[in-house]
Structure 1
Amino acid sequence: MVLDSPSRRSLLGVGSAVVAGGLSSSLLATTGDAQSATSESTFTDWPLERCDPAGTGYDPDATGPGPTVREKWRVELDDFRGGRASPILVDDTLYVVGGGVAALGPERGDVRFHHEGPYRSSPAVAPAEAYTSETLVLAGARGYVGLNARGGRELFGRRVGFERWWQGGDEPEFSTFGPPTASPPVAVDGVVYVADASADRLAAVDPSNGREHWSTEVGRESYGGHPGRPAVLDGTLYVSYWPNSAAAYDTETGERLWRSEVKEQSVLPPTATAEGVLVPDRTGVTALDREDGSERWRYDHGGNVTDGAVAVAEGTVFVTSNTDERFVHAVDLETGEERWRTPNVAGETVPVVADGVVYVSARGYDELVAVDADTGDVHWRFEAEYGVGTPAVSDGVLFLAGGYRSVYALEAGR
């Protein structure tokens, strides 16, 4: 059993740490009661919402179920109130958020810990020098919180050593699809980047104590900010904010490198690639140059999209539109030219891609659809009673949260 206590360095400097539960609760926390140890990981990581820091929604080594699908397992969590937050998979542990936060075993869905709380985003896991276990960072009801990724310990009916730190902020807006939602954090090289829509700010945060390396306001001088999930690539952080702005920041200093405006309002979270920064909006997608923010190409799908993001895999951009026919579109990353479009598939959603298949939540989010990435042909549709969100993909399995209490694992059918 490995104690989840502060490290020696943390104990020497505990006076300066911003730890919500105090030193005593941290010392009591353990890993054995909350999470069984795994001698060898059987599932590869899907560590962030949209997979990687750049937000591509794609892992070239990940595989999904393929052309057929069936339910591998389904878990019902009491008082979970699941929304569309994407699960993440780190070190053979599946983390899901839906009002509360839960850690499950990916093979059988065994619950390692489940804690009710005002949690509002997909999480990120980052190493914490101050502790012997990692920190789980996610948006809370007000600001961001850092939790013990191994769950702490149940003691006299209470979970001890679970909450490590929190930051203040305003309560996020209500969503009709589940709990209020906020921008998920992005963990890169031991630093957590947050785009706090409640405070119109960007920040680089220490996962040990929540202290900010730097922070900057976004958009207050113009239209009110409200940044979405940032994208991080090669030392640069990209963010878009209402109504039509995109900007690039140095991840070390927080210095703004450029700011650009796209032609359409209601910009959505960006995706960063070597070929450019993709900024979706209400009616299409704009590709911006990474160096100066100038426009490279523009693709219009004619929808009226107010939510979602694009995925990028093998030189193709995948974007959804909410016209009457609800298309998923495939667009050439270099030129912006359309390759194919498939109707009656998507809503305002976030596609992910694995092993030549695009997975999208469809219609009223009551089903998940698998679409061939090369042709646009539909492989299968999986229906869920209360809807599903964006999946995580690993070793032939899709993991997704349902709209009420359910967490699903889907595998290849027979």
Structure 2
Amino acid sequence: MRPLTDQDPRELGGYRLLARLGQGGMGRVYLAEDRRGALAALKVVHPERAHDPEFRRRFAREVRLAARVHGPGVASVTGADPDAETPWLAAEFVSGPTLSEAIARHGELPAEACRALAEQLAEALTAVHATGLVHRDLKPSNVILGADGARLIDFGIALATDESAITRTGQTPGTAGYIAPEVLLGGAAGPAADVFALGALLAFAAQGRHPYGSGPEAVLMARPLAADPDLSGITDVKLAALLRRALAREPAHRPSLAEFAGLADLGTAGGGSWIPPSLLDDIGRRTHEVTTRTRPRRATAPEPHPPTAMDGPAPGTRRAPDGPGTSPAPPGPQRRHFTRRGVLGLGAATAAAGAAAWLINENTALGPAPKILWRHAMKGPAFDPLVTRDTVYAISEEDGLVALDIRTGAQRWHRSLNGSLAGPVLGNGMLYHSGGNRLTALDSRSGATRWSVPLPGEQGHAMIPGPDLLYMPDEPVRALDATDGSARWSYAHDPSHPGIVQGLLWRNALFVYSLSYVDRVDATTGKRVWRAEVEAAQDLAISDGTLYVSHFGGVSLLNPVDGTVRKTLTRDKFPVFDIAVAGRALCIDDMADDRVHGLDALTGEERWSADLGKHTFLSELDGGALAVTSDTMVCAVDAGTGVVRWRLHDTGTTSTPVIANGVVYVGTERRGLLALSAATSA
């Protein structure tokens, strides 16, 4: 993955481009996100190709065929426009290596993994064939291994059973060594041809080498016609026998996909439990790199801000326990809505849950619709508002930053953010935002520019405001004077992984973390106090004298004073993404099962788990509650028991609800920013 350059677009078809994933002869592939924050792999056609009518016809065909396929093990198409000036295709993004990369780095897969892979790919091909398609290019580089299993990609030369091949004269569709003999002889590519390719792919995975050896393309093309496959490296007798049948020269002698699906041992096929530990580590590092590299962009969901003394707290809110200098950490992996530490500007969660009739209580009937006190229309999805004593700041990509009267919603002032929503963050009477290689501080009262200083690079930067300094957890980590933006200190945290450093401010300690380390840095001087080695740290939380670090494989409890590890809570070999500590409950988003779990914060004993949707993002509320957003809901959960206090389903909300003095402020996708009465009647 590489950062965008000046030549790369920043938006295409409603997708925001985040980084380069790779490129080939037909175009470039980007990591992108849609308006809801879902990640996608966006394939963009090279401009010179876009002017070729024949290529456009082939690309439009790929889009049409790929969009037909849905099912387990297939990276589904999420959007496309083959008729655009620059044609593009977006598909579900899977974080992980291709099978070819995995074998090159980690060697052949064990028998159990090969069986599980066989079942998953057989299910994927069954879904493909059920739509009347033949993939025709199944090979290791077209299979991605993610933490939740394998995904089949690239339908560039797929063939519908109701059409003829459109390959150019003299060309054989597919890749040498994976093309079935009948296709090599000029026959049709039917479903049995995909079975042949699946056999060759699994033989490669099980041995670490191709069953027809290596050599020039012409030699590899000829071998399946004349030579028997070499399966001598496969020790699993049942697997070897099935693969030998799959590689039969006669299509009628090959097994059905159902026979592959029956290979997997019970309990190993689902999810990623079959993936070897070294490969899981690789997937975890890639996932961490994706999530952390996208965090500066995800700061577009501005942090619900812990009011400083200068700003004045919002009515009905309280300060964070550690004082006004405590700042929230940057937003968490592949999420848009909630911030982590710090005050959310919420009143007592119990009172809010009981009074807000517009939220669906788990144990009562749906209450009446809420009274809309005011609404501020916005051109695009409204992100998390910022709330102070008398002002609500509404933010969207299209509208920029809008200051509104907290009582009436009347607009006080408006500022364009020039397409950059890295931040804004609020502190010291100023709103800070970065983008277009500049950091700008705005007066929170008037919106006037207080100062602006240059920054390295074009991308937005994550920011953590302190009482005197503004911290930028990049590589190197930098501290700027909050009053004028002048440099105060810099700290080289992990130069081997630039651009994926994050941070958490607590009292006079700045904790910075990346792929390999968690460091405590003196927030005033920038000097390192201690360093702890942690593999692929994902999130930090601090409570009652304990620093909680979620990482690949679990959560570690560290002494924040000296960095010693007090306890590690193992959660299989999967990344634990978001964590939140509410009272004595440690709540985690566990990628292993897509559930939220509540643990005892001291012992790690599990108290509850709940299915609250996918892509969950956690944050503490008052009153021992946990705020959760996911792809299906926004809800408040009792952190001690897992009981849902209230939930709001499918409303098009794009932000955390911020509650202050009996009013709920919530950003939506289509209705702008709403101020709703928390009273029980409209």
The question of whether the paired residues in 2 share the 8 Å contact of 1:126 and 1:191 is answered with no
How far is 1:137 from its partner? 1.4
Tell me how far apart the structure 2 counterparts of residues 261 and 289 of structure 1 sit (CA, whole Å).
14
Tell me how far apart the structure 1 counterparts of residues 532 and 492 of structure 2 sit (CA, whole Å).
16
Report the 3-state secondary structure (helix = DSSP H, G, I; strand = E; otherwise coil) of the residue aligned with 1:334: coil
Report the 3-state secondary structure (helix = DSSP H, G, I; strand = E; otherwise coil) of the residue aligned with 1:66: helix
Tell me how far apart the structure 2 counterparts of residues 332 and 195 of structure 1 sit (CA, whole Å).
30
Q: Tell me, yes or no, if structure 1 residue 246 matches structure 2 residue 531.
A: no
1:193 maps to amino acid: Y
The equivalent of 2:566 in structure 1 is 296
The question of whether the paired residues in 1 share the 8 Å contact of 2:353 and 2:646 is answered with no
Q: Residues 40 and 94 (structure 1 numbering): CA distance in 2 closer, same or farther, change over 3 Å?
A: closer
Q: Tell me, yes or no, if structure 1 residue 371 matches structure 2 residue 634.
A: no
The equivalent of 1:42 in structure 2 is 315
Q: Tell me, yes or no, if structure 1 residue 192 matches structure 2 residue 470.
A: yes
The equivalent position to 1:89 in structure 2, one of 387, 393, 397, is: 387
Q: Residues 287 and 98 (structure 1 numbering): CA distance in 2 closer, same or farther, change over 3 Å?
A: farther
The equivalent of 1:273 in structure 2 is 543
Q: Tell me, yes or no, if structure 1 residue 123 matches structure 2 residue 424.
A: yes
The equivalent of 2:327 in structure 1 is 53
Q: Residues 218 and 102 (structure 1 numbering): CA distance in 2 closer, same or farther, change over 3 Å?
A: farther
The equivalent of 1:20 in structure 2 is none
Q: Tell me, yes or no, if structure 1 residue 320 matches structure 2 residue 589.
A: yes
Q: Residues 231 and 39 (structure 1 numbering): CA distance in 2 closer, same or farther, change over 3 Å?
A: closer
The equivalent of 1:168 in structure 2 is 455
Between stretches 400-409 and 271-280, larger displacement belongs to 400-409
CA offsets, 1:32-60, max 9 Å, x none?
xxxxxx9996343679xxx9426564659
The question of whether the paired residues in 1 share the 8 Å contact of 2:612 and 2:633 is answered with no
2:353 maps to amino acid: G
The equivalent of 1:215 in structure 2 is 490
The question of whether the paired residues in 2 share the 8 Å contact of 1:368 and 1:388 is answered with no
The equivalent position to 2:442 in structure 1, one of 147, 159, 162, is: 147
Tell me how far apart the structure 2 counterparts of residues 260 and 40 of structure 1 sit (CA, whole Å).
36
| Greater share of residues in helix | 2
Q: Residues 296 and 410 (structure 1 numbering): CA distance in 2 closer, same or farther, change over 3 Å?
A: farther
Give the TM-score of the pair, scaled to structure 1: 0.70
How far is 1:125 from its partner? 2.8
Tell me how far apart the structure 1 counterparts of residues 572 and 313 of structure 2 sit (CA, whole Å).
48
The equivalent position to 2:618 in structure 1, one of 339, 342, 350, is: 350
Tell me how far apart the structure 2 counterparts of residues 388 and 192 of structure 1 sit (CA, whole Å).
27
Structure 1 unpaired stretches of 5+: 1-37, 128-133, 153-160, 173-180
Tell me how far apart the structure 1 counterparts of residues 312 and 342 of structure 2 sit (CA, whole Å).
27
The equivalent of 1:262 in structure 2 is 534
Between stretches 287-296 and 248-257, larger displacement belongs to 287-296
Q: Residues 190 and 125 (structure 1 numbering): CA distance in 2 closer, same or farther, change over 3 Å?
A: farther
The question of whether the paired residues in 1 share the 8 Å contact of 2:555 and 2:569 is answered with yes
Written as runs of structure 1 = structure 2, the 5 A alignment for 1:5-16 is: none
Q: Tell me, yes or no, if structure 1 residue 227 matches structure 2 residue 501.
A: yes
Tell me how far apart the structure 1 counterparts of residues 456 and 313 of structure 2 sit (CA, whole Å).
39
Tell me how far apart the structure 2 counterparts of residues 397 and 96 of structure 1 sit (CA, whole Å).
15
1:390 maps to amino acid: T
Q: Tell me, yes or no, if structure 1 residue 310 matches structure 2 residue 579.
A: yes
Q: Residues 367 and 54 (structure 1 numbering): CA distance in 2 closer, same or farther, change over 3 Å?
A: closer
Q: Tell me, yes or no, if structure 1 residue 286 matches structure 2 residue 556.
A: yes
CA offsets, 1:192-245, max 9 Å, x none?
22213xxx232222222111221223211x3335112x222231111211x232
2:622 maps to amino acid: A
CA offsets, 1:233-273, max 9 Å, x none?
231111211x232111001100011121224x2x2242233
CA offsets, 1:119-177, max 9 Å, x none?
323433333xxxxxx2211333435321121234xxxxxxxx336213313233xxxxx
Tell me how far apart the structure 1 counterparts of residues 655 and 457 of structure 2 sit (CA, whole Å).
25
Q: Tell me, yes or no, if structure 1 residue 206 matches structure 2 residue 481.
A: yes
CA RMSD of aligned residues (A): 3.4
Tell me how far apart the structure 2 counterparts of residues 254 and 291 of structure 1 sit (CA, whole Å).
16
Report the 3-state secondary structure (helix = DSSP H, G, I; strand = E; otherwise coil) of the residue aligned with 2:665: strand
2:315 maps to amino acid: T
The equivalent position to 1:104 in structure 2, one of 378, 400, 404, is: 404
Q: Residues 397 and 359 (structure 1 numbering): CA distance in 2 closer, same or farther, change over 3 Å?
A: farther
How far is 1:286 from its partner? 2.0
Tell me how far apart the structure 2 counterparts of residues 293 and 39 of structure 1 sit (CA, whole Å).
34
The equivalent of 1:158 in structure 2 is none
1:407 maps to amino acid: L
1:275 maps to amino acid: G
The equivalent position to 1:63 in structure 2, one of 348, 354, 358, is: 348
The question of whether the paired residues in 2 share the 8 Å contact of 1:63 and 1:393 is answered with no
| Greater share of residues in strand | 1
The question of whether the paired residues in 1 share the 8 Å contact of 2:430 and 2:443 is answered with yes
Written as runs of structure 1 = structure 2, the 5 A alignment for 1:131-142 is: 134-142=429-437
Tell me how far apart the structure 1 counterparts of residues 583 and 435 of structure 2 sit (CA, whole Å).
35
Tell me how far apart the structure 2 counterparts of residues 400 and 205 of structure 1 sit (CA, whole Å).
32
Q: Residues 401 and 310 (structure 1 numbering): CA distance in 2 closer, same or farther, change over 3 Å?
A: farther
Give the TM-score of the pair, scaled to structure 2: 0.44
The question of whether the paired residues in 1 share the 8 Å contact of 2:596 and 2:610 is answered with yes
Tell me how far apart the structure 2 counterparts of residues 87 and 41 of structure 1 sit (CA, whole Å).
12
The question of whether the paired residues in 2 share the 8 Å contact of 1:270 and 1:280 is answered with yes
CA offsets, 1:257-293, max 9 Å, x none?
1121224x2x224223342222223553222221232
Tell me how far apart the structure 1 counterparts of residues 648 and 571 of structure 2 sit (CA, whole Å).
26
The equivalent of 2:192 in structure 1 is none
Tell me how far apart the structure 1 counterparts of residues 573 and 613 of structure 2 sit (CA, whole Å).
14
The question of whether the paired residues in 2 share the 8 Å contact of 1:277 and 1:287 is answered with yes
